Structure 1
Amino acid sequence: MRILSFGLIGLGAALALTSLVSPAAAVVTFDQSLASGWYQGAGTSNGHFAVDTGANGVELGLRASIRFVGPITPTGNVYFAPTGSTPPGRALWNFEFSVNPGSYEDTYSLLTITGPGGSLAFDPTQISDNKPTGGSFDQNSENLGFAFLGGPINFNPNVSGIYTFDLKLFSSEDALLGGVSIQVNAIPEPSTWAMLILGFAGIGFMAYRRKSRPAAITA
């Protein structure tokens, strides 16, 4: 179990902070590999990130993935993920991030997660296990089923919902160095949809048969 070792920043304070800085020039691309490489998560590979490449080596990345399978191929910056859970209440999908400050020092990040049940904002680089061994940047694969993430936004892995993830990097002087965002649409698995369609088709066929059956002849 992960332990929350940092203070959560209120969403209002986060929005106020970002409104004080001017946007940084950035190049945001979708469905890309990280130039920094991907080093977190056993068996997972690079690719399918929304990436912001900034000045002086800054690179920010966000994506969604299926747990124990691999990254989801997005449509633009939108990722479609299945609803459902595995014990103990983990979603079937993860969100994954990478923060490379390049040559900047004393930077800090802000990751804002917004879902149907609320919002949460915090600095993901302050989670102790987010720095790859020997790396000068931070990465991890996280799950909204973790209590410290899902609790504040009332996350339910078995309910459909739209979740936005917005990642920003700031200098020690609060200048915005880069930002990238993605949207995850959690919907029932395709097999569930198929069963529902077959069910509706069956109901329609039975109704048709009843309608087309000749009326019984009465004496």
Structure 2
Amino acid sequence: MKKIIGSAIALLSMCGLANANTVQGSIWENVPGAAGDATIANTPGTAPDVTFNVSTPISFDSGSAYTIGEFLTSGGASVLTGSGELGHTLDNTFFQFLGSVSVTNGQTFTVGHDDGLTLVIGGLTVIDLPGGHSPGDDTVTYTGPTGTFAFDLVYGEAFGAPAQLHIDLPLTSSVPEPSTWAMLILGFAGVGFMAYRRKSKPRLIAA
């Protein structure tokens, strides 16, 4: 039985859990109107110039180069498309972050930013600061229902260096993806069959 339990634990380790806190990011360049008024409604309708993935909490800072690539690297982002744009300036760029968060009614969290941003969680506007902003922190309180919801965070960089975005969005729980569930079910079925065969295998009795 210990071997069977060990096999099940090993199977879980091999399958792993899919971190639901991965955020999908998009960047549009040279959009001063949208970057200067970072609202959900101003998200450009064109294809983004750069796409990337990043994990929460989101934490980005510009350095002396003030480029898209420097900014993304500071936050540990993985660039998916648009690698040729990474040397371009951050000025007049519009960012969108899409993902999910687990939140509790009355929970507070802090956002540090320069420039503007808007955050919507589950259809509720939680942060509405879309315009120019000096580097600094704002603390916000979530007043919606408790649970896990999709979020849409847009951030605009339009008024020169520095660029800064730090937000401690609560992590979602790590949950298995559908493919992982399938692997787990098949694996446990196999472990169960092995246990059944071991139990039902006839033993040789000495005469």
Regarding TM over 0.5, the answer is: no
- TM-score calculated relative to the size of structure 2: 0.29
Q: Higher relative CO (CA 8 A, sep ≥ 6), structure 1 or 2?
A: 2
- TM-score calculated relative to the size of structure 1: 0.28
* Larger radius of gyration between Structure 1 and Structure 2: 2
